[in-house]
Structure 1
């Protein structure tokens, strides 16, 4: 009898994880953006990522492809856990993603834009701006 419960738990865990990912990343129920957010402009967007979005399998789950990210540096900031903090003597290593408007909307959903994170334009070491997600207070 205990083996049956163990097997049920082991088989149920992947289904539970898949359900959670669907709810948070793909379903229309897991996130409602705040009404005050500006619309996303059509076309390509540059996004600097420094945390979980550096992992190709996660990007594939979130917006349907791993993309072709390039190494990038955000000068004047340091990483503190899930956020970055202004520090003129530091820099943050990450990846530069190039995404379309629909993909950026999916990244906004993943980051819970307006609830957990804000998306701000900052200059990378190459002198060009990119969107960067920063934790809200």
Structure 2
């Protein structure tokens, strides 16, 4: 059991922070060095996940994404639906770490969407398979 506990930090480093196991596609633009708003509807709603990924759990605010429905790990268009979640701010470096966690360009894309209060935030959405 203690061996598993010792391996957990190594596993988290390999998956979340190391240069191994994820290479962002060349076509992705550089992350701007400024503050970014992110809408979370899944695992990133958990403060401990945000802390492990970005180094900062940060303050959150309840938010709703209109016209979208959560389906498993994804959100899909549904004009009659609303997806509840949280919105939080990150700097450019933290956004790049979120991109790595979400495997931007491999598993997810990051798109700007309008929340129910009229503000915009980045949302991670599953890439469609051909």
By the TM > 0.5 criterion, same fold?
A: yes
1:20 is displaced (CA, Å) by 1.4
Tell whether 2:118 aligns with 1:127. Answer: yes
- Aligned residue pairs total 128
CA RMSD of aligned residues (A): 0.9
Q: Does the residue aligned with 1:95 lie in a helix, a strand or coil?
A: strand
Q: Which residue pairs with 1:6 in the alignment? A: none
1:129 is displaced (CA, Å) by 1.2
Q: 1:111 aligns with which of 99, 102, 105?
A: 102
1:11 is displaced (CA, Å) by 1.4
Q: Which residue pairs with 2:85 in the alignment? A: 94
Structure 2 matches for 1:35-74, cutoff 5 A? 35-74=26-65
Task: List 4+ stretches of structure 1 deviating above 3 A.
Answer: none
Question: What is the TM-score normalised by the length of structure 2?
Answer: 0.95
Q: Which runs of 5+ in 2 are unaligned?
A: none
Q: Does the residue aligned with 1:97 lie in a helix, a strand or coil?
A: strand
Q: How far apart, in 2, do the equivalents of 1:95 and 1:102 lie?
A: 20
Q: Which residue pairs with 1:24 in the alignment? A: 15
User: Could you say which structure has the larger radius of gyration?
Assistant: 1
Kindly indicate which of the two structures has a greater share of residues assigned to helix.
1
Q: Which runs of 5+ in 1 are unaligned?
A: 1-9
- Worse overlay, 28-37 or 48-57: 28-37
Q: Which residue pairs with 1:84 in the alignment? A: 75
